[in-house]
Structure 1
Amino acid sequence: MDPVIVVGAGPAGLALSLALARHAVPSVVLDSTDGVPAARAARTCLLRPDTAAVLPALPGLRWRSWRTRRRAQPVERIDLPPEQAPLHIEQHALERTLRGALADEKLARIVTGSHVDLLEQDAEGVTAHTRGPSGTWWRGSYAVGCDGARSTVRKLLGVRFPGRTSVERHAVAALRVRLPWEEGTYDADGRRGDADVGSALLHRDPDGAPGEVTARPLADERWRLDWLLPPRGDLVTPEEMLERVAETLAIWSEESVSSAAPARSGSAGGRGPGSGPQEPAPRGGVGPYELVDTGVHTVHQRLARHWRVQRVFLAGDAAHLTGALGVQSVDEGLRDAANLAWKLALAWHHGHGAAADTLLDSYESERRGAVAARLRAVDQTLPVVRRGGGLRALLPGGGARSHLGLLTDGHLGRGLLGAPPTYARTPLTSPRLNAETVSVGTAPGAPVSDVPVTAADGSRGALHEWLGGPGGELLVLLVAPGTGVWDSKHWLTAGMMPELASAVAELPLRATLLVAESYPEAAAHTVLAIRADGHLAAAFPAGRPHALRACAEAVRGGAHT
C-alpha cells in the first residue's frame, strides 16, 4: 500500500510522520524548505506535559512555578510539580529534534525543496505534484496538509478558512539575563547553575509601564519577554524595542532591590547589544543582559470549515490559527497529529469501508470541535480581560485577580483556554457499553493520568511512554494492587490475567496489556481501555472480555448499535 503523504515539515507534520512510523505506516514528508529550521530564539512554543511525553526527549526547560503581579504587588504564585510543568522550547529546537528522530525511522522520508502545486484524489489514493525543473509526481494512500496558515493543500481543496485577524499583537524579545525572581543556584558570575528549573512571570499594569508583559524562562539562561501591543498599530522599531526592554528591566530591578533593601536604591544595570561588560547587579536586582532576538507576533483566529475531504486531511496551522490569551498554537497542532496518526494507521492496516469512514471522520469531529471550543472561549474572555466589561461581574475573586487568572489559564493548561480537550461526544463509542462501564478518576474521552505501569514482559515505566505508537492503537490497563512487588512471570499466569491476556491478543487492532498498582479513583481489578492518543475510551470491571472487544470495535469505528 502507498505511503501517507505529509505536506509541510513544521512541528505538526514532523510529529505526524514520526507517529505514523511508530504505528508501522510509511510516510513521505514533502518539505518546501531546505530542511534547516531558522534559529529564532524569540520564536518559542509551550508544550503540555502529556503532549511532550509522546515526543523524543526535547532540549527545553520545564518551569517550577508561575507568578502573577499587578502593578508592583505580587498576586499569586503557583508551584508546578513535574507532572504539571509545561515545557518551554524554541520552535527550531523542536523541529530539529523531530527531524533527528525521523532520520532513524526507516518508514519515514523527508524530501526537501518540494513545493506541492497540484493534488488529485481517486478511490484508491492521492496523487500530489511538486514543482521544480522537471516536476515530480507522488502517490499516496492518504495526504495530510500540515503546510501552515497559507496552506496550499487547503486552497487546492477549496476549503474556506474564516476568522478574525490581529486579535492580539505582541512585541517579543529573547534575552540572556538574570532576573531577580529566578530560582536555582548561581555561579560566581551570577549565572544560573540549575538549568532545569525556572519561574515564569505575568506582570500586568494596565495604567503604566510595562503594561502587560510575560517573562518565560528558556534553557541556556535565556528568557522570552512578550509585551502586549494594540491589535493594530505602527511597526515596532529597534529603538522602541530597546526602550521596552530597558524600561521593564529597570522597573523589575527597582522593585526587587527596594524589596530586598528598602534603604538602598537600585537600577536596571542593563546593557544593549554591543555595549561594554558591566559588573553584575546586586543579587536583588537585574543582571546585565544580552539581546538575542526580537520580533513582533500577531495572533489571528481562524478555523477551517472542513478538516477532511475524502482522503486528504488538514492539521496544525493549516486547519486552525490560535494563540490569543496564552492559547498554545503548536501544542494544538501536535494534538492534531496525535489524534490523526493512530486513526490513519488503523485505516491503512485494516482496509476501508463504513467503519474506516467513521474512524477517519472522528478526527474532524473531535479535533475541530475541541479547537472551536477553545476559540469560543477566547472570544468570550477577550472583552473581560482587555476591556473590563462583559462578564466581569460574574467572575469569581474580583476583577483584577480574575483577569490575571484567566490570562494564566492558557499558559498553564487550565480551564477552557488551556486544559487538554475531552472528547465526550466522540463517535468512537458504543451504546452497548453503557451498562458495562464504571467510573474512574478520568472521564471518558479525557486524557489519562500518567501512572507507573508494568508490561507483560516485565518492563516498567510511565503509562505515557506506551502512547503514540509503541503500545499500538489501544492500551489495556489492569488495576491490580500487589503486582508491583512481584515479577511479571508470577502474576501473568495467576487469577484473571490469562483470560485478559488472551482477550487482548484477539482484539481487532494492535493492543498492549499493562498493569498498574493503582489508578486515581479506580477500584481494584478495573480495566481501562486507552486510545493511542492517551484519551480514555472506557473503563469496566475485569473479567468481561465481551466489553473489551465491544470497546475495541467502537474505537476502530464499528459496532455502534
Structure 2
Amino acid sequence: MDPVIVAGAGTTGLALSLCLARHDVPVILLDDGSSWHERQPERTVVLRPRTAELLARLGYTAVHTDAARWTAWRTLNRRQEVQYVEFDADAEPSPLHLPQDRLRQGLREALAGQELIKVAPGSRLYAFEQDEYGLSVHTRSAAGGSGPPDTWWRGSYLVGCDGPRSTLRKLLEVRFPGRTAVQRYAVAALRVDLPEPGTALLHRDPPGGRGSQVLARPLPRGVWRVDWSLPPGGQPLTADALVALIRSTLAGWCEGTVPAYDLLGSAEYPVHQRLARRWRSGRAFLAGDAAHLLGALGTQGLEEGLRDAENLAWKLAIAWHQGASDTLLDSYQAERRYAVGARLRAADQALPLLRSSGAWHTVRRSLLSGPMSRHTELLADGHLGRGLLGAPPVYDRSPLALTTPRGASRAALGSGVVAGPGSEAADVPVVALDGTRGRLRERLGRDLLAVLVAPGTGVWDSRHWLTAGLMPQLTAAVAALPTRTELLVAENYPGATAHTVLLIRPDGHVVGAMNGCRPTDLYAYADVARGGPPRQRPADEGAAGLGVDGPPDAGAPEVDESAGATAQLRS
C-alpha cells in the first residue's frame, strides 16, 4: 500500500500524521510553510483534558506543563457575580490553556524520529488524480519554499488539512457555506498581576463598557489573554484605542488603579462560521479548518480539528492494513460533520438571545431562577466544555452505532449512567494481560479495546485470574475478531455490572456492551465497528511511491476518469 498523503502541516495535519504513524501507517506530510508564523502570544487554544491526553499520547508530553490550569471560572454582570465554577481534578478537571505556537512546536518536536512520516518541505498541493488503486498528487514549490518545483507523489488516501482557503476543497469543488464575521474581537496578551490569579473571568457590561463583554483567561508565567467584543461592522481598533481599552478594563478590575503591565501581542479578528458540504470524495478527505470554521461563544475550532484527526486516523488505518468498506470511511463525515454542525446550530440559536441586553437583564432580575439561568450558562459552555457548545461529541447517529447485533442490548450498561453506542468511554483503571496497570485512555489510539468488568481483579495478580472464569473463553474470542483488539480487565466501570464486556473504538467511543462472553455477539460488534467486511481490493493495489520528478509512473494502472476523479487548480 502507498502512504497516506496529508496536505498541510498545521496543528491538524501534524496531529493526523502522528495518529497515523501510531497506527503503523506511513505518511507523506506536504508542508508548504504556511503554518509557520512569527511568535504570536495572543493566539492561544483551550483544550479539554481528554484532548490534552491525545496530544501526550502522540508525543507532545510537555502539554500539561506548557499549559495553565484554571482554578475557577467566574461570570459577572456589571459588578454582580452570576456564575462561579470551581475546578476539581476528579469531579470537573480544568480546561488547559496554552499558546498555539507552543502547541504547534510540541507536535513538530514529536515528529523527530518518526520513520513512518516523510515531511516534504516547501511543497504545495497543486493537482491530484484518483482512481480505484490510489491517488497521484502533484505538488509545486510554495512561494519562497525549498521544495522541488514539480513533483508527483503516489498515495493511498489524501487528507486536506490545508486551512480555511483549502486547495483540496477547491479542487474537489466542495461548497463551504456559512456566515462571515458573526462576532468580532480585539485580543491582547498581557503580563500583569490581577486580583484572582488562576481564575478565568467573563465580564458582561463591565464598568465603562456597557453592551460589551470582556473575557480574561490565565496562561502560564503570569500572562493573561484578554478578549473584548467589538460592535459588528465597526472601524478597526487603533493602537491608542486598544491601550485605552486595556487601561479602563484593568482599572475596573483593580479598584480604579491601573497595574503595571507588559503588552506582549495584540490582534483584531472576526469569527466565521462555515461547514463544508462534503468531507469525503472517494479517497480524498477534508479535516480541520478546511472542513469547518467555528469559534463563536467559546467553541474551539482547533480542538475540533484534533478530534477530526483522531476520528479519521483509525479508520484510514483499518483501510490501509485490511481494506475498508465505504460504510467505515463514510462514517468519518457522518460523525464529525454532524458533531460540528450541532455546535454551529447551537451557536446560531444562542447568539441572538445573548446579544439582547433585555434578555440579559431579565436573567439578572430573575436571580438566575428557572430556565433563564440557562442564558448565563450558554456564555460559559463553550469555554468550559459543557452542553451543546462544548461537551464531548456523542456519535449515536453514526452508521457504526445504529446497528445492534441480535441479543446484544444496552441493558448491559446497567442503570444507564453510561450512555450507549457512540458515547465517550469512561477513563477507569485497567489491567492488561501482561499485568501492566494504567488508565483506559492510555491504551487508546491503536487497537479496538475489549474491557471485561471483573470486581476483585484489582487486588489479585493477573496470573491468578488469567485462567479463571470468563478469561479463557474471552481471550480466545478476542483473538478471533476481524479487527486487532486488545483485551483489558477493569475492577469496575460506571453503570456496568460484573462480567460486562465493553468494546471500545481506538478514539475512545463505545461500540457496544454485553453481559458475559458471547463470541458471536462480540464478533458482530467488532464487525459493526469496522463498518462491515471491507470491499475487495484491486489485485495490484499498492507499490509504495514516495515521489518522483515528472508525471505519474507510466506503469501505474490507467486512470478511469468515469469512475474516479481528476482535479486540477484552475487559474
- 1:290 to 2:262 alignment: yes
- 1:299 to 2:271 alignment: yes
- 1:359 to 2:328 alignment: yes
Mapping of 1:106-125 within 5 angstroms?
Answer: 106-125=115-134
Tell me the CA shift for residue 432 of structure 1: 4.6
Tell me the CA shift for residue 559 of structure 1: 7.1
In structure 2, do the counterparts of structure 1 residues 224 and 206 end up closer, same or farther at CA, with 3 Å as the change threshold? closer
- How many residue pairs match? The answer is 510
In structure 2, do the counterparts of structure 1 residues 90 and 391 end up closer, same or farther at CA, with 3 Å as the change threshold? closer
Mean Cα deviation higher: 542-551 or 431-440: 431-440
Letter in 2 for 1:382: L
In structure 1, what is the Cα distance between the partners aligned to 2:15 and 2:516? 34
Q: Render the CA deviation track for 1:160-206: whole Å, top value 9, x for unaligned.
A: 00100000111000011111011xxxxxxxxxxxxxxx221111117
- 1:453 to 2:430 alignment: yes
Tell me the CA shift for residue 99 of structure 1: 1.2
Structure 1 residue runs without a partner (length 5+)? 183-197, 255-265, 270-287
Q: Is the 8 A contact 2:75 2:201 kept in 1?
A: yes
1:81 matched to which residue of 2? 88
- Name the SS for the 1:513 alignment partner: strand
Q: Is the 8 A contact 1:62 1:86 kept in 2?
A: yes
In structure 2, do the counterparts of structure 1 residues 391 and 138 end up closer, same or farther at CA, with 3 Å as the change threshold? farther
In structure 1, what is the Cα distance between the partners aligned to 2:464 and 2:37? 50
Tell me the CA shift for residue 317 of structure 1: 0.4
2:287 matched to which residue of 1? 315
In structure 2, what is the Cα distance between the partners aligned to 1:144 and 1:450? 30
- TM-score by length of structure 1 reads 0.87
1:226 matched to which residue of 2? 227
- TM-score by length of structure 2 reads 0.86
In structure 1, what is the Cα distance between the partners aligned to 2:477 and 2:369? 51
2:163 matched to which residue of 1? 148
Q: Is the 8 A contact 1:412 1:418 kept in 2?
A: yes
Q: Is the 8 A contact 2:407 2:521 kept in 1?
A: no
Q: Render the CA deviation track for 1:325-351: whole Å, top value 9, x for unaligned.
A: 001111111111111000000011112
In structure 2, do the counterparts of structure 1 residues 556 and 390 end up closer, same or farther at CA, with 3 Å as the change threshold? farther
In structure 2, do the counterparts of structure 1 residues 122 and 423 end up closer, same or farther at CA, with 3 Å as the change threshold? same
Letter in 2 for 1:130: T
1:441 matched to which residue of 2? 417
1:199 matched to which residue of 2? 199
Mean Cα deviation higher: 450-459 or 131-140: 131-140
1:31 matched to which residue of 2? 31
- Name the SS for the 2:417 alignment partner: coil
- 1:370 to 2:339 alignment: yes
Q: Is the 8 A contact 2:406 2:521 kept in 1?
A: no
1:257 matched to which residue of 2? none
In structure 2, what is the Cα distance between the partners aligned to 1:11 and 1:106? 19
2:524 matched to which residue of 1? 550
- Name the SS for the 2:254 alignment partner: helix
- Name the SS for the 1:82 alignment partner: coil
Q: Is the 8 A contact 2:206 2:214 kept in 1?
A: no
Q: Is the 8 A contact 2:395 2:401 kept in 1?
A: no
In structure 2, do the counterparts of structure 1 residues 389 and 512 end up closer, same or farther at CA, with 3 Å as the change threshold? farther
Letter in 2 for 1:131: R
In structure 2, do the counterparts of structure 1 residues 507 and 37 end up closer, same or farther at CA, with 3 Å as the change threshold? farther
In structure 2, do the counterparts of structure 1 residues 430 and 66 end up closer, same or farther at CA, with 3 Å as the change threshold? closer
Mean Cα deviation higher: 244-253 or 228-237: 228-237
Tell me the CA shift for residue 212 of structure 1: 0.4
Tell me the CA shift for residue 62 of structure 1: 1.9
Q: Render the CA deviation track for 1:394-450: whole Å, top value 9, x for unaligned.
A: 997379854331110000111111111111111114645263122253212111111
Q: Is the 8 A contact 2:276 2:292 kept in 1?
A: yes
Q: Is the 8 A contact 2:49 2:96 kept in 1?
A: yes
Mapping of 1:137-176 within 5 angstroms?
Answer: 137-176=152-191
Task: Specify which of 415, 433, 436 is matched with residue 387 of structure 2.
Answer: 415
- 1:237 to 2:238 alignment: yes
2:297 matched to which residue of 1? 325
1:20 matched to which residue of 2? 20
- 1:510 to 2:479 alignment: no
Letter in 2 for 1:3: P
Q: In angstroms, what is the RMSD of aligned CA positions?
A: 2.1
- 1:479 to 2:453 alignment: yes
In structure 1, what is the Cα distance between the partners aligned to 2:348 and 2:171? 29
Q: Is the 8 A contact 2:396 2:402 kept in 1?
A: no
Q: Is the 8 A contact 1:10 1:147 kept in 2?
A: yes
In structure 2, do the counterparts of structure 1 residues 452 and 399 end up closer, same or farther at CA, with 3 Å as the change threshold? closer
Mean Cα deviation higher: 235-244 or 167-176: 235-244
- 1:336 to 2:313 alignment: no
2:354 matched to which residue of 1? 385
Task: Specify which of 467, 479, 496 is matched with residue 444 of structure 2.
Answer: 467
Q: Identity across aligned pairs (percent)?
A: 56
Mean Cα deviation higher: 453-462 or 414-423: 453-462
Tell me the CA shift for residue 252 of structure 1: 0.2
In structure 2, what is the Cα distance between the partners aligned to 1:450 and 1:527? 15
Q: Is the 8 A contact 2:207 2:252 kept in 1?
A: no
In structure 2, what is the Cα distance between the partners aligned to 1:51 and 1:491? 34
1:274 matched to which residue of 2? none
1:66 matched to which residue of 2? 73
Letter in 1 for 2:530: R
1:248 matched to which residue of 2? 249
Q: Is the 8 A contact 2:10 2:35 kept in 1?
A: no
- Name the SS for the 1:55 alignment partner: helix
Task: Specify which of 163, 180, 204 is matched with residue 195 of structure 2.
Answer: 180
1:260 matched to which residue of 2? none
Mean Cα deviation higher: 163-172 or 37-46: 37-46
Tell me the CA shift for residue 511 of structure 1: 1.2
In structure 1, what is the Cα distance between the partners aligned to 2:444 and 2:385? 20
Mean Cα deviation higher: 156-165 or 422-431: 422-431
Tell me the CA shift for residue 542 of structure 1: 2.1
1:192 matched to which residue of 2? none
Mean Cα deviation higher: 203-212 or 387-396: 387-396
In structure 2, do the counterparts of structure 1 residues 359 and 399 end up closer, same or farther at CA, with 3 Å as the change threshold? closer
In structure 1, what is the Cα distance between the partners aligned to 2:248 and 2:134? 58
Tell me the CA shift for residue 115 of structure 1: 1.0
**Structure with larger RCO (C-alpha < 8 A, sep 6+):** 2
Letter in 1 for 2:257: S
In structure 2, what is the Cα distance between the partners aligned to 1:321 and 1:390? 27
Mapping of 1:32-47 within 5 angstroms?
Answer: 32-33=32-33, 36-47=36-47
In structure 2, do the counterparts of structure 1 residues 71 and 400 end up closer, same or farther at CA, with 3 Å as the change threshold? farther
Letter in 2 for 1:94: L
Tell me the CA shift for residue 36 of structure 1: 4.5
Structure 2 residue runs without a partner (length 5+)? 142-147, 535-571
Q: Is the 8 A contact 1:144 1:315 kept in 2?
A: yes
Task: Specify which of 97, 100, 114 is matched with residue 105 of structure 1.
Answer: 114
- Name the SS for the 1:330 alignment partner: helix
2:504 matched to which residue of 1? 530
Tell me the CA shift for residue 550 of structure 1: 0.5
Tell me the CA shift for residue 301 of structure 1: 0.5
Letter in 1 for 2:78: R
In structure 1, what is the Cα distance between the partners aligned to 2:433 and 2:133? 38
In structure 1, what is the Cα distance between the partners aligned to 2:168 and 2:403? 37
Q: Is the 8 A contact 1:46 1:88 kept in 2?
A: yes
Mean Cα deviation higher: 50-59 or 329-338: 50-59
2:217 matched to which residue of 1? 216
